[in-house]
Structure 1
Amino acid sequence: MIRVTDAPEIRTITIDRPESRNAFTPEGLSNLADAVETATRPVVYLHGAGTAFCAGADLDVVAGLNRESAEGFAEHGQRVANVIERTESVVVAGIDGFARGGGVELALACDIRVATPDATFAEPGVQLGIFGAWGGTVRLPEIVGLGDALDLALSGRVVGAEGARRMGLVSRITDDPRGVAEEIADNAPDALAVVKARVRDSASSGVQAAREAEAFGELVAEHAEDIAARRE
C-alpha cells in the first residue's frame, strides 16, 4: 500500500490504498517506516491516493484484536510516527481530503503539514469507544494547544482546512501541497537537516544554545564561498 517515487531532491511516498481511504494495516505501517528510513533525499513528501490522506487504522484489523494485540498495534503505530519525526529528511504532509484518527497522528509527526481547501480532520475514535493511540495524545496538545486538543479528541468533530490552519494543525492551505515540498527542497540540504534537528531538540535551553552555535559555525565554514558570493 506504499508507493515510492524518487526525484533528485524529493522522495514522494504515496499511501496507496484508496478503496479503504488509505487505512493502515500493521504491514502497511512497516512499509511506511521502511520508505521513510531509507530516504536519502533532503525532503520527503507524504500524501494519500484518491480522495483521502489517511483514515488511520484499518477497522477490520482493529475489530480482530484482543487486549494484548491492540496494545502491540498501538506501539507499532507509535514507532512509525517516531520514525517520521526523527528522520533527517524534512517530511512534508500534503493533506487532501479525508484525514482521520491515525492519519491525523501520522501527519502530526511530520515536520510541515499542508492542506488543500478540501481537507478535513477529525479524531473520531471516541465515537467507537476508542481513541487515536499512535502518539496523538502527546503531539496534538503540543501542536494545537491543550484546549483545542481536548476539543478535537473528546468531541470527534470534523474540522475543515481553515479551522485546522487557525489552530495550527496545518501551516498552509494551497491547491498544490507538493509545491511546498519543492519550495523547501530548493534550499541547502545540510542546512535543512540542521534546522530540523535544532528546532526539534528537546534538550535544556543551555544545551540547545550551545548546539545551535556549533551548528551555525559548521554551516558558515561549509558555505563560506556561497555566502561571500551573495555579498558581491
Structure 2
Amino acid sequence: MIRTEVSGDVTTVTMDRPARRNALTRAGLDDLAAAVEAAETPVVYLTGADGAFSAGADFDEVAQLDHDSARQFARQGQRAARTIETAESVVVAGIDGPARGGGVELALACDLRVATPDATFAETGVKLGLFGAWGGTVRLPRVLGEGEAMDLALSGRVVDAAEAKQMGLVSRVVEDPGAVAQEVAANEPDALAAVKRRMRDGTDRVVQEAREAEVFADLVVEHAADLRR
C-alpha cells in the first residue's frame, strides 16, 4: 500500500492502492507514518499512484468501526498527519488527480502542496454524515482562512487546481510536482530544516484533535449503514 524510493536527496513515498484511489486503512496509515518518519533525506515527496492522490479513509473499513475504534481510527489519521507535519524532512505533496477527505488533510499537513492541472480537491465527508477528522478542522482554517475553509468543508464541493491555487490550498500548479521537490532539495539541508522548525513552532492542537476524534466517532456510529458500499 505504501511504496518508498530514494533518489539523491529526495525520498518518494507513494500511496499505492489504485483500485481504491489510494484510500488508507488503519494499517496503511501506520505504514505511511513509518515511511515518512524513517526518511533520512532532506526532502520527502508524498504522492499517490495512477492518477489519484488519495481518497482518504477507506470507508469500507470505517463502516465496520464501533465508537471506540472510530475514535482510534481518527487518532491514527491525526498521528499520521502530525508525523508528516513534524518530520525532520521537508515534506512536499505532489497532487495529481483527486484528493478527497483524508487525502486533503494529509496534504494540508505537508510543508508544500503542489498540484498538476488534473488535481481536484473536496471534503466530501459531509455528504455521508461525517467530516475531516485527521486534523482537518484544525489545519483547514489555518491554511485557507475561516471563510474558505467553511465553504469547502460545509459544501463538499469539488475544487479544481486553478481554484485551489487561488484560495491558497496549493502553492503551484505544474505538470511535474516531483520537479518542485527536487528544486527544494537542491538547497542547503540545514537551512531547509531551520525554516521548517521556525514556521511550525508554537502550534498546539492536542485538545482540538481529541474533540475532533470524539465527534467523528459519534458520526461513524450514527451513519455506519450509509458508509457501506
Give 1:119 deviation, angstroms.
Answer: 0.3
Give 1:143 deviation, angstroms.
Answer: 0.2
Partner in structure 2 of residue 75 of structure 1:
75
Distance 2:164 2:124 in 1: 15
Distance 2:182 2:38 in 1: 20
Give 1:72 deviation, angstroms.
Answer: 0.6
Unaligned runs of 5+ in 1: 204-232
Q: Secondary structure at the residue paired with 1:52? A: coil
Which amino acid in the other structure matches residue 186 of structure 1? Answer: A
Which amino acid in the other structure matches residue 4 of structure 2? Answer: V
RMSD, aligned α-carbons: 0.7
Give 1:82 deviation, angstroms.
Answer: 0.3
Partner in structure 2 of residue 41 of structure 1:
41
Q: Secondary structure at the residue paired with 1:118? A: coil
Which amino acid in the other structure matches residue 133 of structure 2? Answer: A
Which amino acid in the other structure matches residue 51 of structure 1? Answer: G
Which amino acid in the other structure matches residue 49 of structure 2? Answer: A
Partner in structure 2 of residue 88 of structure 1:
88
Partner in structure 2 of residue 179 of structure 1:
179
Q: Secondary structure at the residue paired with 2:198? A: helix
Give 1:51 deviation, angstroms.
Answer: 1.8
Partner in structure 2 of residue 121 of structure 1:
121
Which amino acid in the other structure matches residue 115 of structure 1? Answer: A
Distance 1:109 1:39 in 2: 16
Partner in structure 2 of residue 106 of structure 1:
106
Cα deviation digits, residues 30-53 of structure 1 (max 9, x gap):
000000111100000000001210
Distance 1:26 1:198 in 2: 31
Q: Secondary structure at the residue paired with 1:53? A: coil
Distance 1:80 1:200 in 2: 16
Alignment of 1:1-232 (within 5 A): 1-202=1-202
Give 1:67 deviation, angstroms.
Answer: 1.1
Distance 2:190 2:94 in 1: 23
Cα deviation digits, residues 73-96 of structure 1 (max 9, x gap):
000100110000001100000000
Cα deviation digits, residues 111-132 of structure 1 (max 9, x gap):
0000000000000101000111
Distance 2:51 2:20 in 1: 10
Larger mean CA deviation between 192-201 and 113-122 belongs to 192-201
Give 1:199 deviation, angstroms.
Answer: 1.3
Distance 1:149 1:197 in 2: 25
TM-score normalised to structure 2 length: 0.88
Unaligned runs of 5+ in 2: 204-229
Q: Secondary structure at the residue paired with 1:175? A: coil
Give 1:193 deviation, angstroms.
Answer: 0.4
Which amino acid in the other structure matches residue 185 of structure 2? Answer: A
Distance 1:167 1:142 in 2: 12
Distance 1:112 1:201 in 2: 16
Distance 1:29 1:194 in 2: 27
Identity of aligned residues (%): 66
Cα deviation digits, residues 138-162 of structure 1 (max 9, x gap):
0000000000100010000000001
Distance 1:200 1:75 in 2: 20
Which amino acid in the other structure matches residue 198 of structure 2? Answer: R
Which amino acid in the other structure matches residue 176 of structure 1? Answer: D
Give 1:68 deviation, angstroms.
Answer: 1.1
Higher RCO structure, 1 or 2 (CA under 8 Å, sep 6+)? 2
Distance 2:193 2:34 in 1: 19
